[in-house]
Amino acid sequence: MKNKKVISHLKSYAKKLKQNLFVLYLSYKDPRAPWYAKAVAICVVAYAFSPIDLIPDFIPILGYLDDLVIVPLGILLALKLIPSIIIKENLKAADELKRNGKQKNWLVGILFILIWFLCGLWICKIGFNFYKKFL
């Protein structure tokens, strides 16, 4: 019985979080929002809609860290920075947008692929230099 309550609460929280993500998507386009709120909102929305995670999900525990911690904290921060009147106005529009489907941000996805590729090259370079040094 207690497990059903927890699962129900988590589903409700996830639904609210997703709703807030669409509110942010609409709010960063609003000219009344401050530039710093727009910057945070666009980063959170782009990352959440990106098909690629900064930390891949196949990495145990850390792979889901961004989905469970980073994205919700980013949403909370962006919502605190955006004036409440803008958020209230975008709640209804967010419902409509959510029903039409989520957009993919392939530009951010390509950026994350590039970051992982550069990290791989950097690790290979360090390994090669380490190998040369001791042989």
Cα 79–Cα 85–Cα 88 angle in degrees, nearest 5: 75
Mean of pLDDT values over 80-93: 87
- 122 pLDDT more than 80: yes
- 79 pLDDT more than 80: yes
Residue 108, pLDDT score = 67
User: Higher pLDDT residue, 8 or 27?
Assistant: 27
In the block, tokens 């791989």 appear at 120
Instruction: To the nearest 10°, report the CA torsion of 47, 90, 73, 114.
Output: 10
The mean pLDDT value of the chain amounts to 79
d(CA 129, CA 33): 49
Residue 36, pLDDT score = 92
Distance separating the N- and C-terminal Cα atoms of the chain: 63
Highest mean pLDDT pick, 13-22, 63-72, 111-120: 111-120
Whether 21 contacts 40, CB under 8 Å: no
CA pseudo-torsion sign 106, 112, 117, 118: positive
